[in-house]
Structure 1
Amino acid sequence: MFELSDPARITAGFVLLAAITVTTGGYLLTRISQGKMEATGFQKSFYRAGHAHAGVLIILGLVCLILTEASSLTGGWLWLSRTGVLISAILMPAGFFFSAMGKGRTQPSAWITLLWIGAVFLISGLAACGIGLLVS
């Protein structure tokens, strides 16, 4: 029987509870599609992208968390492999949503920086996990 370490188990528990917040993005998209909230084409596309990235990256992050348990990584590499993709699951959707907020917005605001910081965590977390598995 495969067993998660305590840090991995606790992280997974918090992530699953936090994933409930993804429904707020779905609620927002529902309000927009029903005409109960105005949004520009740019905002609609960024809100959709934020919602989709949140769901996909949470799943990918949980997969990396579990796979990290099969590696021999330690220290910062272990942390990055276990949590890098999960951090991107927060930052990237936040970059999409926050940069599109504001009445009539047609261009991203400076909040778009969160998207690129999240991309760095995504790439770093995936690389740490993949390399960790290959060298273990």
Structure 2
Amino acid sequence: MEPATLTLAGILMLALITVESGGAFLLRVTTGGHPANDLQRNWYRAGHAHAAVLLVLSLAILPYTDAYELPAWAVWLARSGVPAAALLMPAGFFLGVLGQDPQKPGRAAVLVPIGAAVLTAGLLAAGIGAIAAGRP
């Protein structure tokens, strides 16, 4: 594996620690230790789940990117698209419901669809790169 790939893998593994601490926060919310309305509880759950799944997916895709024979920008997108989505989407879920008792998501919720678009682009690049690398 390339040194840059290993470095990113290490960063992603360490980022999972933030998901772990987010789980502790979510536990406080669900047990009543931190006040939250239904909207906040649902969005906190979604943010936590997206962060965990996308970070693990990032780690699963990463080793394959070293074999891609794509333009440098496409390899960069394949390598960083899913990790970027792992930041953007949960940030939208958490920041979108800040406040004492929000009745609807705030402006930061726009990070969710932006993250989804980045996720799609990263997965497209990764999928195309894997198919291209596997062809004789």
TM-score where L is the length of structure 2: 0.93
**Aligned partner of 2:7 among 3, 7, 10:** 10
Partner of 1:62: 59
What code does the residue aligned with 2:116 have? A
What code does the residue aligned with 1:64 have? I
Distance across 1 between alignment mates of 2:2 and 2:71: 13
Given that 1:57 and 1:88 are in contact with CA atoms closer than 8 Å, whether structure 2 keeps it comes out as yes
Partner of 1:22: 19
For residues 1-136 of structure 1, what are the structure 2 equivalents within 5 Å?
4-136=1-133
Distance across 2 between alignment mates of 1:30 and 1:86: 25
Distance across 2 between alignment mates of 1:76 and 1:96: 29
What code does the residue aligned with 2:21 have? T
Task: Report the identity percentage.
Answer: 42
Shift of 1:73: 2.4
- In the alignment, structure 1 segments of 5+ residues that lack a partner are none
Shift of 1:62: 1.2
- In the alignment, structure 2 segments of 5+ residues that lack a partner are none
**Equivalenced residues, count:** 133
Distance across 2 between alignment mates of 1:18 and 1:57: 11
Shift of 1:67: 1.8
Distance across 2 between alignment mates of 1:38 and 1:69: 46
Distance across 2 between alignment mates of 1:61 and 1:107: 30
Distance across 2 between alignment mates of 1:89 and 1:64: 13
Distance across 2 between alignment mates of 1:131 and 1:57: 19
